[in-house]
Amino acid sequence: MNKTIDIEPYGNSIAYKEWLPSGNHLGSVICCHGLGDTAGAFDILGPILAKNGFRVLAIDLPGHGFSSHSGRYSLYHIAESLLRFIVGLDLFDSGERIFLISHSFSAEAAPFLTGTYPNLFEKIVQLDNPGPAKFSELGTDPFTNLPYPDYATKLRKFLDRATAKKKRDPPAYKSVEDAARHRVENAPRFFRLDEQAAYNISKRAYKMVDEDYYIPTQDPVLMKDNWPGGAGQICPREDVEALVRKIIAPCLILKFDSWKESWWIKAHEPLLECYPNLTCKSIEGPHHAFAMKGSGERSAKIITEFLITQS
């Protein structure tokens, strides 16, 4: 079921999908997707968790899907939006058992909330990412093989866009299926998807214009000021690690094939040592394995067992 809730500030709204349990209610699971995705990424996981007794709430992050273009997309802003969503649904300090599942960009933002409110979630699942990457461990960008730009370079690139007079037209597609197919065919190897995952995400990632074609719903400024190449300031590493050390909820990190990449291990493994109560499991498949056929069901089985098992 598709729903929307208004949150502050500025009259913004968060769109979300909800799956309700058919029997015993074991708690509410909040699912947060990665950068450039939508709540549709959880179309495999959500119904399975609901079947096992959980109310599942999968949100469109601000600037994504059907949610508002808030212009507030730093990691701590994402954490704030998630908290406002929880408050808006009267789940905060309600006595309800709340669980958090986050992927990629959301998993980078999660410690800003879970470390600040250690008692908010009963258990936490981080899909592939344990938290913000330690880019100081990497000499070059693994996707471009170019040196990481310094802050002055990123800021200049960001500000230069303000001098452009010609507006860039968004990509347009004849159907959501065409958009999903384009994503499958053009995704970098690291972010590859199967057709089902691409379609599930794309159903909320595009909107019809003039009853003729579909354009992205994503805020175009989202990628310009955001992690890792944008001009937004990155939280000092010692502060990130201090937040993670404050997380008292049991945490499952579900590792995908990303953890076979040496650069990924360098950027993310150091943070694992900061988690007080950590379990790691592995699933064969790319960065979006949880959203794909086969690996999605296998991911759901591991996650369900983790959430149900007594700590």
Q: Is residue 249 assigned to a domain?
A: yes
Q: Is the residue at 209 inside a domain?
A: no
* Six-digit token string for 123: 């258990």
Does pLDDT of 54 surpass 70?
A: yes
| Total structural domains within the chain | 1
Q: Can you give the pLDDT at residue 233?
A: 67
Whether 188 is covered by a domain: the verdict is: no
Q: What is the mean pLDDT of the segment spanning 48-64?
A: 97
What residues form DSSP beta bridges with 208? 214
Distance CA 65, CA 272 (A): 31
What pLDDT is attached to residue 274? 97
Q: Is 298 part of any domain?
A: yes
Range in 28-37, 38-47, 103-112, 144-153 with the lowest mean pLDDT:
144-153
- The closest of 140, 142, 71, 131 to 104, measured between CA atoms, is 131
CA 214 – CA 200 distance, rounded (Å):
15
How much is the mean pLDDT over the chain? 92
- pLDDT given at position 159: 84
User: pLDDT tens digits, residue range 215-258?
Assistant: 999 998 887 666 556 667 678 899 999 999 999 999 999 999 99
Q: What's the CATH code of the domain at 57?
A: 3.40.50.1820
Q: Which pLDDT score, from 0 to 100, does residue 10 have?
A: 74
- Residue 275 inside a domain? The answer is yes
| pLDDT for position 234 | 77
| Residue 228 confidence (pLDDT) | 59
* Per-residue confidence (pLDDT) for residue 229, from 0 to 100: 63
State the Cα–Cα distance between residues 241 and 273, nearest whole angstrom. Answer: 9
Side chain identity, residue 88: G
The per-residue b/e assignment along 87-116, b for 16 or more CB within 10 angstroms, e otherwise, is eebebeeeeebbbbbbbbbbbbbbbbbbbe
Q: Does 92 map to a domain?
A: yes
pLDDT at 51: 96
Pair 233, 260: CB distance under 8 Å: no
> Phi/psi of residue 15, each to 5°?
-90, 145
The answer to whether the Cα torsion of 134, 139, 142, 143 is positive or negative is positive
Predicted local distance difference test score (pLDDT) of residue 82: 97
Candidates 256, 279, 306, 277; CA nearest to 34 is 256
Contact 131, 244 (CB under 8 A): yes
In a domain? residue 155: no
Over 90: is that where the pLDDT of 308 sits?
yes
Is residue 147 very low, low, confident or very high in pLDDT (cuts 50, 70, 90)? confident
Query: Does the structure show a pLDDT above 80 at 191?
Result: yes
Under the banding of pLDDT at 50, 70 and 90, the label for residue 213 is: very high
Tell me: the pLDDT tens digits for 71-102? 888 899 999 999 999 999 999 999 999 999 99
Q: Is 302 left (phi over 0), alpha (psi -120 to 50) or beta?
A: alpha
Q: What count of other Cβ atoms lies within 10 Å of the Cβ of residue 203?
A: 18
pLDDT value of position 227? 55
Mean pLDDT, range 1-29, rounded to an integer: 91
CA distance 61 to 218: 10
Could you give the CA distance from residue 181 to residue 194 in angstroms, rounded to a whole number?
A: 9
Q: For residue 180, is pLDDT > 90?
A: yes
Q: How far apart are CA 105 and CA 33, in angstroms?
A: 7
Residue 237 in domain: yes
Confidence at residue 225, expressed as pLDDT on a 0 to 100 scale: 62
Amino acid making up residue 50: A
- Check whether 166 has a pLDDT greater than 80: no
In the predicted structure, residue 262 carries a pLDDT above the cut 80? yes
Domain containing 238: what range? 2-140+225-308
Kindly indicate the confidence band of residue 127, based on its pLDDT and cuts at 50, 70 and 90. Answer: very high
